[in-house]
Amino acid sequence: MPLTKTTWLRVGAPVAVLALALTACGPFGEKGDTSENARHASHSGAADGDRGGARTVGMRSEGGLFWPGQTGTRAFKEDTGVEPTYRIAAQKVDIGTADEAKALVADPADAKGLVPAVAQVKYTHLRGATVRKYPRVGDYAEVYADGRRGAKVLGDTGRPKGCADPDEIKDWRNGQSYLLCTTFLIPARAREVEVMWTEIGGEPFTWAF
């Protein structure tokens, strides 16, 4: 399974430039209407116990539940105004340690009971206009633990090997792929971890790990 324990933080990451994006209701993402509706949408159209059937679907443009590495396709409007179509596939989630979580926040108490989870998602530019700079498609990947959205960590968290910096990507053309990674804090005792990608108003792609 691609859910792994690993040491991925760069030693001495400057806490001063890190920010923890918390929701207004609790130490990690609340299970509110938005996340709950999205989770129901991701399972729509599949009968109970039929999850394995998703393996034969291939690329899909509508929302759905996927296995790790399976791909969905979606046109996405970048901040620069272009709207290319991407092939999107969550590859794995790396789970860190409690000590690493404490290193990501200014006050270690904010990370009590939490561990970092890094979602690694591959994006392939299939067609459409070249993305000249600053792609934001990767910003829409989130980590859910036991049905609740994790707290996104902003700033320089130390990038895992192979993960690209979206601010350094230039002239992203058809056929080119990048692995983009986002870090969230989730409960250390979480039993189910999912990666969800969706733009505002769209049906989510959900990968179960």
The torsion angles phi and psi of 182, rounded to 5 degrees, stand at -130, 145
Q: What is the pLDDT of residue 3?
A: 55
Q: What pTM does this model have?
A: 0.75
**CA separation for the pair 24, 28 (Å, rounded):** 9
Minimum mean pLDDT among 19-23, 75-79, 83-87, 89-93: which range?
19-23
> Cα–Cα distance between 166 and 147 in angstroms, integer?
28
Residue 183 near residue 152 (C-beta atoms within 8 A): yes
Q: Does domain 3-44+59-208 have CATH number 2.60.40.1240?
A: yes
Q: What is the DSSP letter of 203?
A: P
CA distance linking residue 183 with residue 43, whole number of Å: 25
11 versus 97: the higher-pLDDT residue is 97
| Structure confidence by residue, pLDDT tens digits, 53-78 | 333 344 556 779 999 999 999 999 99
Using alpha carbons, select from 161, 207, 163, 208 the residue that is nearest to residue 181: 163
| pLDDT given for residue 53 in this prediction | 30
* pLDDT winner (highest mean) among 21-25, 42-46, 61-65, 165-169: 165-169
Q: Hey, which bits of 51-191 come out as E strands?
A: 64-66, 72-75, 85-95, 114-127, 131-133, 141-145, 148-149, 151-154, 170-172, 177-187
117-135 tens-digit pLDDT: 999 999 999 999 999 999 9
Cβ atoms 205, 88 nearer than 8 A = yes
Q: Is 5 in a helix, a strand, or coil?
A: strand
Q: Which residues does residue 74 pair with via DSSP β-bridges, in sequence order? A: 86
- Cα 83 from chain centroid? 20
Tell me how far apart the alpha carbons of residues 126 and 175 are, in angstroms, rounded to a whole number: 6
Bridge partners, 21 (sequence order)? 152
76 phi/psi in degrees, rounded to 5: -135, 130
Burial status of residue 54 (CB atoms within 10 A of its CB: 0-12, 13-18, 19 or more) = middle
Residue of 186, 185, 5 lying closest to 104 (CA atoms): 185
- pLDDT tens digits, residue range 164-205? 999 999 999 999 999 999 999 999 999 999 999 998 878 999
Residue type, 4: T
